Amino acid sequence: MSESTVQQTPRRLRASLAPSDLIFRLVARGGGGLVLLITGGIGVFLAYQAKPTLQTYGWKFFTEQAWQPEANQIGVAAVLFGTVVIATIAIALSFPVALATALFITEWAPRGLKKTLVALVDLMVAVPSIVYGLWGFFLLQPWIIHLSRWITDFFGWIPIFRVDSDPDAAIFDGATYASSAFIAGVVVAMMVMPIACAVMREVFDQTPMGEREAALALGSTSWGVVRAVVLPFGRGGIIGGTMLGLGRALGETIAVVMIVSPLFEINWHVLQSGSITISSMIALRYGEASGSQLNALMAAGLVLFIITLIVNLIAGFVVSRSRSGAGTEI
């Protein structure tokens, strides 16, 4: 429908559009425009609302740890740190498991089981985060704090595993280990794992049969096939899936709210209680925020959105650039 005249274009077929088509196009354009308005509007609105805060606090907004609007101290350093820490823990825990599971499903799972397994993983993606939150709070937490203590006990010499409590104390100091970034990270890992796994699995599935068989013909074991063919082929999927999981982990709200004890400070001791993420801060503070505080929350939301956006863009880029996509057309 573009009016630009290009050489060697085929003859234009439609002299004029039927009225129904005109309306159709109008409506479709309108729909597209509306969606653009709504979705784009959010981004613009966020940026617009965040502007006063960013102007007022400038760079200090990114370096200040405290979130005390009543003391005029507002900064996302601590929340950003918490967000990244929890997401990192989630990815660190879920990546190996997701990768191994994806490989299992594509390579080693019994034939009859494969479909079920794929469905199960997809199902895990669909489980609402509140369910994971409940599970984490009521089942996992009372139990995993002992693991936390164990880690502190043996790896306390690594600074991040240190805890401000004597692991050999007479009475088990559970409260120090509860509500920590680590536990939140484990729960988020549960949510991220199926996402990453599903993407990886899809990409692994597309590994060209010819290359697999070539490797087998050369006498490699199944692990050899994986190492030499599947993994290189699926590298894009691995990275992309992990990044997608990371994007989800960064934005997770309710499970984190349920588990961590809010602490607006950079807390390097991941096993120790107290952390905060941007999304959980919004969930906790929106109700008491008016005027400039609400703007500050929007600014924090914008920061989170931009980070998630970048991560997702990178993921999409990696996946589309890798051989994974192109390789399927043998």
Partner 1 sequence: MRRPTSRPGRRLRNLVLALLLTCAVAMIGAPSAGAGSTAYAPIYGTGSTWSQNALDQWIRDVEPLGMRVEYGGGGSSRGRLDFANKLVDFAISEIPYQGKDPLTGADDTSAGRPYAYMPIVAGGTAFMYQIRVGGQLYRDLRLSGDTITKIFTGKITNWNDAQITRDNNGKKLPNKKIIPVVRSDGSGTTAQFTIWMNTQHKAVWESFCQSTQGRACGQTSYYPTKNFPAVKSQGGSSQMAGYISASYADGAIGYVEYSYALGKDYPVAKVRNNSGYYTLPTAYNTAVALTKAQIETNPSSPLYLTQKLAGVFNHTDRRTYPLSSYSYMILPTSNLSTSKGQTLADFASYFLCKGQQKAAPLGYSPLPLNLVQAAFSQVARVPGSPSTATDITKCGNPTFDGKNLNRNVLADVAPQPLACDHDGAGPSINGVCPPGGPNSPNNPGGPNSPNNPSNPGDGNGNGNGTGTGTGTGTGTGTGTGTGENNGTGTGTGTGTGTGTGTGTGTGTGTGTGTGTGTIDPKTGQPIPSASTSIDPETGQVVNASGNNNAYQPTGSVTELNGDRGGGDMLRNLGLLTAVEVLLVLLVPTLVSRYLQQKRAGK
Partner 2 sequence: MTVTRPPELGTENPFLPPTDDVTPIEQAAPIPPEPERRRLRVVDVEDRACLAGSAAAGLSLTWVLYSRILPTEGTLGFIVCWWLSFTAFYLLITGLRRGRVVLADRFAVLLAHSAAGLIGIALASVIGYTLYRGLRALGHWNFFTSDLRTAGPLEPLSAGGALHALAGTLIQISMAIAVTLPLGVLCAVYLTEVGGQASKLVRSVVEAMTALPSIVAGLFAYVVLLIGLGMRLSGFVAAMAISVMMLPIIARSAEVVLRLVPSGLREASLALGATQWRTVWSVVLPTARPGLATALVLGTARGIGETSPVLLTAGFTTYLNLNPFSGPMVSLPLFTFKMSQSPEENYISRAFGAAALLLVLVLLLFAFSRWMASRGRSGTR
Q: Residues in the site for partner 1, rule: CB under 8 A?
A: 65-66, 68-72, 141-142, 145, 164-165, 168-179, 261-265, 273-274, 284-285, 287-293
Which residue stretch of 21-29, 68-76, 164-172, 261-269 sits at the interface with partner 2 (rule: CB under 8 A)?
A: 21-29
Q: Which two tokens stand for residue 273?
A: 């209680």
Task: Tell me how far CA of residue 195 lies from CA of 97, 122, 125, 206, 237, in angstroms.
Answer: 12, 8, 6, 17, 12
Q: CB of 178 within 8 A of CB of 171? A: no
Selection from 199, 195, 180, 191 nearest residue 129 by Cα: 191
Contact 103, 226 (CB under 8 A): yes
CB of 118 to partner 1, least distance (A): 24
Query: In angstroms, what is the minimal distance from the CB of 69 to partner 1?
Result: 6
Q: What's the closest the beta carbon of residue 241 comes to partner 1, in angstroms?
A: 30
Phi-psi region at 9: left, alpha or beta (left = phi > 0; alpha = psi -120 to 50): beta
Out of partner 2, partner 1, none, which partner does residue 129 contact, by CB within 5 to 8 A per kind? partner 2
Give the nearer residue to partner 2 in terms of CB position, either 33 or 268: 33
Alpha-carbon distance 214 to 221, whole Å? 12
Site string for partner 2, 202-231 (x = CB under 8 A): x--xxxxx------x----xxxx-x-----
How far apart are CB 109 and partner 1 at their closest, in Å? 31
What x/- string results for residues 56 through 85 when contact with partner 2 is judged by CB under 8 A? ------------------------------
Of 70, 79, 76, 77, the C-alpha closest to 50 is: 76
Is residue 123 a contact point for partner 2 (CB under 8 A)? yes
